[in-house]
Amino acid sequence: MANLLGKRYTCHECGATVLVTKPGEGTVACHGAPMEQHQAKPLPSSD
């Protein structure tokens, strides 16, 4: 799974979240497992 720019990934084990600031190949992993892409809760723009 490639890492997508600006996407967030979360670890199920410890709750750590990472934000991809430079895209690339490979998998972000934590606690021995690939982290899961964080599904953002869509919120209306407030500014």
Partner 1 sequence: MILEMAASGFGDRLAVGSLGGDGLTFAQVAERAARLAADLRARPPGPLAVAAPTGLHTPVALFGAAAAGRSYAPLNYRLPEASLDELIRRLDPALLWTDPVPLDPLDPLDPADPGPGADGDGGAAPDLAYDDAPEAPAVVLYTSGTSAAPKAAVLRHDQLAAYLFATLEFGSAEPDEVNLLAAPPFHVAGVAGLLSSVYTGRRVAPLPRFTAEGWIEAAHRERATHVFLVPTMLARIVAALDADPSLRPPPLRHLAYGGARMPLPVLERALELFPDTDFVNAYGLTESSSTVSILGPADHRRGDRKLLTSAGRPLPGIEVKIVDGEIWLRGEQVSGAYLEAGSKLDADGWLHTGDHGSLDDEGYLYVTGRADDMIISGGENIAPAEVEDALLRHPDVAAAAVVGVPDDEWGERVAAMVVPRAGAELAVPDLAAWARERLGGLKAPAPLVLCDELPTGPTGKVLKRDVRAALEGTRATQATS
Binding site for partner 1 (CB under 8 A): 5-8, 19, 21-23, 40-47
Query: Of the two residues 32 and 44, which places its CB atom closer to partner 1 in the complex?
Result: 44
Kindly state the smallest distance separating residue 32's Cβ from partner 1, in Å. 26
CA distances for 16 relative to 8, 9, 11, 19, 35, angstroms: 10, 8, 5, 10, 9
Kindly state the smallest distance separating residue 40's Cβ from partner 1, in Å. 4
Q: How far is CA 5 from the centre of its chain?
A: 9
Kindly state the smallest distance separating residue 15's Cβ from partner 1, in Å. 13
Q: How far apart (Å, rounded) are the C-alpha atoms in residues 39 and 25?
A: 20
